[in-house]
Homo-oligomer: A and B are copies of this chain.
Amino acid sequence: MPEWRKDPVVERWVVIATERSKRPTDFKTPPEEVDPLDCPLCVGNEDKTPPEIVAFREPGSKADQPGWWIRVVPNKFPAVRADERYYTWDEGVFQGMNGVGAHEVIVESPDHDTNLAGETDKQVEEVLWAWRERSLDLRKDSRLQYICIFKNKGRTAGASLQHTHSQLIATPMVPETIREEINGVRSYHQRKGSCVYCDMIQQELAQNQRVVIEGERFVSIVPYAARFPFEMWILPKEHQHDFGQIVEADVRDLAPVLRGSLAKLAGTVNDPPYNLALHTSPVNTGEELLYHWHFQLMPRLTIMAGFELGTGYYINPTPPELAARELRDTPIISPRIVETLREEVQHV
């Protein structure tokens, strides 16, 4: 059974994933590339995953059969599990709890040879609807306090399968990162009476030095204190605390801003590996109306090393203003060009 363990000094929880327990020899060989014929996320291979949780599919098509364009399945090797009774323990200075949570995979296309940057805006809208639907459904479990939606693209960014997909891990506590952001938002609100993200967006739009794409409702910027070269944040221009409450007009504007940011990244730096993480308000903890949800897009062109791990600080070799200018100047490339780029050598 997986378990959550808390660091005795700082508020950091770790999942000890006993179900995928690795012994020393398991680290000796890198995992092999999956043949598309065996890809568990491909259309026609629905029997290679656990039964689907939900799918967007053609009328009349059956669950766990072809006919879908978005499919959500439980992770085959879940780090945490929804079907557990919740219990905690103390063991001297240590605290733990069993591995309550949920771990799902959102398959973003039936097609093996595509990725989010090369998808149509319509398909990206469907991905956003799937993320929203899972967020709304999972919060019905009152034990869960946060629903983390994220995407790893490229092996060096942690993706073990090439087929385009995102993941969701729901946790029974509010993650450290989100808690720190909420503290920051509250502290700023006490001092200034406004939302720090709203004020930042106003300033970015006025200065226009770090804006990458401005839509009607969403904006993509390179943050002032970007940790990573070509890092981007994608935020609603008007204050919204909860991604789960997005409406159709939001989705229609967000899809091209998100896809455009990914495509510009792919075109500017040769389709690099990246992580994308949704930051949104917690659930089942009282509504955090002061929070301002957004996506953080983190290209993996640099390596987090001893300084970053030891301090929590970062060294970014690409000034944000330079990155934004390069990204702005890169056209939003078409799916075909993304395909060609992907065949080139990936850098670590």
Contact = CB atoms under 8 A, between A and B. Distances in A.
A315 B14 contact: yes
Contact of A309 (B203, B229, B275, B317): B275
Interface in A293-332: 296, 298, 301, 303-307, 309-320, 322, 326
A28 to B, nearest CB: 6
A337 to B, nearest CB: 15
A171 B17 CA distance: 36
A188 B318 contact: no
A167 interface: yes
Contact of A14 (B15, B27, B227, B270): B227
A175 interface: yes
Interface centre among A148, A158, A224 (most CB of B within 10 A): A224
Interface in A264-280: 268-270, 272, 275-279
A14 B225 contact: yes
B93 A312 contact: no
Interface stretch (A18-26, A40-48, A62-70, A126-134): A18-26
A141 interface: no
A180 interface: yes
Given A21-B318, A93-B196, 4 more contacts: A9-B181, A9-B185, A148-B307, A156-B348
Interface string A141-184: 00000101011100111110000000101010001111011011
Contact of A9 (B171, B196, B276, B278): B196
Nearest to A207: B92
A301 B31 CA distance: 12
Interface in A204-235: 207, 223-227, 229-230
A347 interface: yes
Interface string A1-45: 000011111111111111011111001111000000000000000
Contacts of A243: none
A333 B207 CA distance: 59
Interface in A45-86: 79
A16 B225 CA distance: 8
A124 B220 CA distance: 49
A298 to B, nearest CB: 6
B15 A315 contact: yes
B307 A14 contact: no
30 contacts: A7-B223, A7-B224, A8-B200, A9-B188, A10-B183, A10-B184, A12-B227, A12-B312, A14-B315, A15-B313, A15-B316, A17-B315, A21-B318, A22-B317, A23-B326, A28-B269, A93-B200, A94-B224, A150-B305, A150-B307, A155-B348, A158-B306, A175-B312, A177-B309, A177-B312, A275-B309, A277-B307, A277-B310, A278-B310, A348-B348
B14 A158 contact: no
Given A181-B9, A200-B8, A303-B158, A27 B275 contact: no
Task: Give the 5 A-B residue pairs with the shortest CB-CB distance, closest first.
Answer: A158-B305, A150-B306, A277-B310, A175-B311, A176-B312
